[in-house]
Amino acid sequence: MTAELHEARAQAVLDELARQMPFLRKAAEAGDPPLRERMPALAAIAARLEELDGSDWLQSSVKGYVALSLEFLTLQRRLEQTGRYLLSNERDAFERVYSNPEVFSHYYLPGLLLSEALWPNHFAMNRLFVEAFVPKVPAGGRVLEVGVGTGYHLRELRERVPAMEYLGVDISELAVAFARRYADERGEGSMRFELANAAERIPAADGWADAAVCGEVLEHVEHPERLLSEIRRALKPRAPFFVTTVVFAANVDHIYMFDSADEIRELCRAGGWTLETDLVLPIYPTDSPDAVRRPMNYAALLRA
């Protein structure tokens, strides 16, 4: 594939965004890292979507991104007025989102996929994932992912870790279907998926995994300390673990509220994890990373 064709696909996403919701096209320009650095990631996602969905990919994935972004803005406003997330328990999140194709398959997961390049904070966390975590995953290693979502992290891993043995655990069969398709069955290594509530039990033996990733799930469970403890049980001692979550940032399925980055660090420390490095990314650029009850993304590389 030529570089021009690649670039043209990313530009087609931006043009479609300008057609559907001009202010979101403008918003994509803002933030750090700048849009030009995010364009190759956008082009790679677009190329994969075109491969899977032919000519339908553009309109439908941008529609998903618009719906997810607008929902975030509405729910964030509500959160800042009420101090509470919309939902407060796992059962409601499962019924409303994870088992509901109208929400999860039609706009949430396609929108989340484009956000990996279009939202600067998601892009910055993915860069940490590729630069700091992936090199620590041994070739032929066993990787546990909790909350497979779109399959974005899985695809990144499959492109970079030779002969990986992958186990993806998710509560939603809609996510597993989406991730399996996006990440592709072909290629070296193996991939296996299990449906489970990972905060209750991860279907893996003690010390099974050489590395683990859990992107944006801690805020989706009632007891994040139980989820962290299950992941630690399934990992070998001192194995690397990449985790992301949010502070005071709304989404339709967020139920556990972290008030600050320090609260997340303390939860991990109390759970026996060693912090290697982390990234605190305020959603409003004028906020300080030390702020309390301000919306932020958080990513960390830990060791079991």
Ligand X SMILES: C[S@@+](CC[C@H](N)C(=O)[O-])C[C@H]1O[C@@H](n2cnc3c(N)ncnc32)[C@H](O)[C@@H]1O
Binding site for ligand X (CB under 6 A): 98, 112, 146-149, 152, 169-172, 175, 197-199, 215-217, 220-221, 244
Choose between 221 and 283: whose C-beta lies nearer to ligand X.
221
Asked whether the beta carbons of 115 and 123 are under 8 A apart, the reply is no
Please state, in angstroms and rounded to a whole number, the distance separating the CA atoms of residues 165 and 147.
Answer: 17
Choose between 103 and 268: whose C-beta lies nearer to ligand X.
103
Choose between 26 and 177: whose C-beta lies nearer to ligand X.
177
Torsion angle, alpha carbons of 53, 145, 253, 80, to 10: -110
Choose between 119 and 273: whose C-beta lies nearer to ligand X.
119
Q: Provide, rounded to whole angstroms, the least separation between the CB of residue 219 and ligand X.
A: 8
Asked whether the beta carbons of 145 and 231 are under 8 A apart, the reply is no
Q: Provide, rounded to whole angstroms, the least separation between the CB of residue 55 and ligand X.
A: 26
Q: Provide, rounded to whole angstroms, the least separation between the CB of residue 216 and ligand X.
A: 4
Q: b/e per residue, 209-239, with b = 16+ CB within 10 A? A: bbbbbbbbbbbbbeebebbbebbbbbbbeeb
Choose between 231 and 239: whose C-beta lies nearer to ligand X.
231
Q: Provide, rounded to whole angstroms, the least separation between the CB of residue 58 and ligand X.
A: 21
Please state, in angstroms and rounded to a whole number, the distance separating the CA atoms of residues 289 and 296.
Answer: 8
Q: Provide, rounded to whole angstroms, the least separation between the CB of residue 153 and ligand X.
A: 6
